[in-house]
Structure 1
Amino acid sequence: MRTQVTPSGAPSMSDVAARAGVSHQTVSRVLNNPELVRPETRARVEKAIAALGYRRNMSARALRTRRTGLIGVVSPGDALFGPTRVTIAIEEAAREAGYATVLTVVRGSDAATAEQVMSFFLGHHVEGIIVIAPIAEMARTAQRMVGQLPMVLVGAGPEPGVAVQSVRVDQRQGAREAARHLIDLGHRRMVHLAGPAEWFDARERGAGWREELLAAGLEPRLVDVAGWGAADGHAATQRLLAEAEPPTAIFAANDYVALGAVRACQEAGWTVPGEVSVAGFDDVDAAGFFGPALTTVRQPFTELGDQAIRALLQAFGELPGASVTVAPSLVLRSSTSSPAA
């Protein structure tokens, strides 16, 4: 079957209707309220859309409905695994919900920067904003934009005094589970290689580590590392192994810091996990292929993105929404074991 396409060359909604053998209004319902259309009719329309390569005219839709289907995303611009994966998860969840994202990178928290961001988003007629805020500086930027558009903050927890609905992973609980795992294995000399203190994630993981060790009657030890990279974990672990009584277990700020810790142990002739157990956080894509495969705390990034979009859609309806916390999970692999006798 061949359908005549409008002279402009771009298929229109009428072209889709003709090919599917339905009315223009039915095609509109499939695009805007598909749940109101019978499954067999919806399938026929969707098949015609795919065959013709029909694309919605978002400009015309915006003029008619004052809605653009655009969501603004503010990112700190870090190439680190966590913020990058969160950005991807939000984009994927937005697409599933029928929205597109407009991304801008913000590295400062001054009023001028916040004003520039809002001007950019308002100029693109976004319907709401999601701010990825792994550090306090980003949360303060979000605070300066409150009230202008619906907004959701994604991070480990808002800065005190920042009144923004938030969605976050329970970093503290993840650290407690990692600590409990090492305690249950029998470790007593343990160290947490803590991430940069300005990051919410690092603060919460450190707090969870302290809580679990204190609950077990142990003295919590934290060693600050310079950053989130393997080199940071490598340097810190070299110093630890030079001590009179090195730790028998290391809980690293993230998987890359853990990778550096493992490398430092191996270079010094220490076996992992025979003499030193190492655990990480994030469950990066290659964590199961480290040598040895890394025990880590998996962050549910897909669920985080889904919850962020859900919270924003709720805000579109001007409904009050409570902040949401999603739970991580401990993934046991071969980098941890009971301490040597």
Structure 2
Amino acid sequence: MGYNEATMSAQKRLPTYVLLAERIKAEWISRPDVRPGDKLPTQHQLRQLLGASRPTVAKALALLAAEGLVESRQGSGVYLRSSPLESTRTRLLSFIAPQSHAALVLRAYYGIERHARRKGYALLMASSENDVRHEEELVEQHLQAGAQGIILYPVTRWRHQLQDDYLLRRWRDVPIVILDIGYEEWERPMVLFDNFRLGYQMTRALLEHGHRRIAFLPLHPDCLHRSIHERREGWLAAMHDWGIPVPESYLRWAPLARDEEPDGEAMAHQVLQLSPLPDAVMTWEDSVAVRLIRALQKMGVAVPGEIRVVGFDDLEATHFFQPTFPTSQPDFARLGEMAVEVLDDWLSGRQRTPRTYVLSVPVLWREPRPLRRPHPKEGGCEDEA
């Protein structure tokens, strides 16, 4: 492949706003006749001249501002920066996550963006849509766009994917901080939650509330969702420490894959086939707990009277769900702040050895609220002749 073909191929992989920023550089910033303080065309003019949408032009100008090339003056327009920022190429970070609209991702983004802004960084964000190949493409695109470091909330890997993962062989000299789910094989800095301890404490809370037949919803062993597997290990450790034997059926029931929406009725059927019948089930997360509770109730099982169901993550969507159930309170905003701190240490040269940073997670024990029954009016009678 020739140079021009390679260049065109690389350009096709770049986001539109990055290509637009390069055009603005070429036509209005890099010309020999321009001077610091010169005014750029208005956003409306740029849209007409470049044939681009308003959001694309705005993102291109934001990228140029992050690189220290332009500055916006309120009510006046965009100008070439009079005094370029020092070390402008180190002031842009990237955050890539599986789904940008997911509740936990938004919590992490809040912490990342807030802390990055405090430290003088601008932030790019993109969604990999749970596709490892697209995740790799986004890492490449953001680095080409000028990001000097990346916070990666990775797509959950399957065992066969991890053997030839791009993070094992590409960008070994680029600081990529892994958020929430990571693997030691990558040899990257990671900021994670202490899910083993969380699984242990949730099991202990169930035991303290009188439960003994506690089951853990099985996940396919080749689905390497580290958080879930570590909570399961914590469950087993707590049961062992309390001297509660785990029935063989609780260890051998058919595992489920997390890449599909779990079928609540199928899960409920599996639970009801266990022997002995569990009096508590720990699920992977709140959304799965809701599906299982609804299915059990549909089959006539009292929740939590006969079987208590536990979730994790304290999702806002479940706050008004009845019956309420125990969950956890992971501070994803704080985890995001920690990721920025680690990345800043790498970029400043204060850290060069990959380390794993762990944040604890408290259990949030919730009991169903009693139904409110209307009371007869004071001085009245419910039955009048």
Which TM class, normalised by the smaller chain length? Answer: 0.7 to 0.9
Q: Which deviates more from structure 2 when the two are superposed, residues 79-88 or residues 193-202?
A: 79-88
CA distance, structure 1, for counterparts of residue 192 and residue 147 of structure 2? 23
* Residue 154 of structure 1, aligned match among 148, 155, 179: 179
Residues 3-60 of structure 1 deviation map (CA, whole Å, 9 limit, x = unaligned): xxx994999xxxxxxxxxxxxxxxxxxxxxxxxxxxxxxxxxxxxx999468987988
* Residue 296 of structure 2, aligned match among 265, 281, 287: 265
* Structure showing greater Rg: 2
Match of 2:149 in 1: 128
Cα distance, 1:295–1:314 mapped onto 2, change above 3 Å: same
Q: Percent identity?
A: 24
The yes-or-no answer on 1:91 pairing with 2:122 is no
CA distance, structure 2, for counterparts of residue 184 and residue 57 of structure 1? 65
Please report the TM-score for the alignment, with normalisation by the length of structure 1.
Answer: 0.72
CA distance, structure 1, for counterparts of residue 77 and residue 93 of structure 2? 19
Partner SS for 1:309: helix
Is the 2:217–2:283 Cα contact (8 Å) retained in structure 1? Answer: yes
Please report the TM-score for the alignment, with normalisation by the length of structure 2.
Answer: 0.65
Match of 1:42 in 2: none
Match of 2:7 in 1: none
**Post-superposition shift, 1:245?**
3.4
Cα distance, 1:58–1:73 mapped onto 2, change above 3 Å: farther
Match of 2:65 in 1: none
CA distance, structure 2, for counterparts of residue 306 and residue 175 of structure 1? 24
Partner SS for 1:219: coil
Q: Which deviates more from structure 2 when the two are superposed, residues 261-270 or residues 212-221?
A: 212-221
The yes-or-no answer on 1:102 pairing with 2:127 is no
CA distance, structure 1, for counterparts of residue 309 and residue 340 of structure 2? 35
* Residue 333 of structure 1, aligned match among 350, 354, 366: 366
Name the Cα RMSD after superposition: 3.7
**Post-superposition shift, 1:119?**
3.8
In the alignment of these two chains, the number of paired residues is 293
Match of 1:226 in 2: 257
- The one-letter code matched in structure 2 to 1:176 is Y
Cα distance, 1:77–1:60 mapped onto 2, change above 3 Å: farther
CA distance, structure 1, for counterparts of residue 287 and residue 237 of structure 2? 24
Is the 1:262–1:278 Cα contact (8 Å) retained in structure 2? Answer: yes
Cα distance, 1:130–1:124 mapped onto 2, change above 3 Å: same
Cα distance, 1:123–1:230 mapped onto 2, change above 3 Å: closer
- Which consecutive residues of structure 1, in runs of 5 or more, have no partner in the other structure? 1-5, 12-48, 337-341
**Post-superposition shift, 1:188?**
1.5
**Post-superposition shift, 1:330?**
0.4
Match of 1:207 in 2: 233
- The one-letter code matched in structure 2 to 1:170 is D
Q: Which deviates more from structure 2 when the two are superposed, residues 238-247 or residues 162-171?
A: 238-247
Cα distance, 1:303–1:53 mapped onto 2, change above 3 Å: farther
- The one-letter code matched in structure 1 to 2:321 is F
Alignment of 1:48-197 (within 5 A): 52=74, 65-67=87-89, 69-77=91-99, 81-83=103-105, 85-106=107-128, 114=136, 116-133=137-154, 135-136=156-157, 140-156=165-181, 158-196=182-220, 197=223
**Post-superposition shift, 1:333?**
0.6
Alignment of 1:298-337 (within 5 A): 298-320=329-351, 322-334=355-367
Match of 1:18 in 2: none
**Post-superposition shift, 1:100?**
2.4
Partner SS for 1:152: strand
- Which consecutive residues of structure 2, in runs of 5 or more, have no partner in the other structure? 1-36, 43-70, 370-385
Cα distance, 1:328–1:144 mapped onto 2, change above 3 Å: same
CA distance, structure 1, for counterparts of residue 241 and residue 80 of structure 2? 56
Match of 1:28 in 2: none
- The one-letter code matched in structure 1 to 2:154 is A
Alignment of 1:231-310 (within 5 A): 231-243=262-274, 245-310=276-341
CA distance, structure 2, for counterparts of residue 290 and residue 95 of structure 1? 36
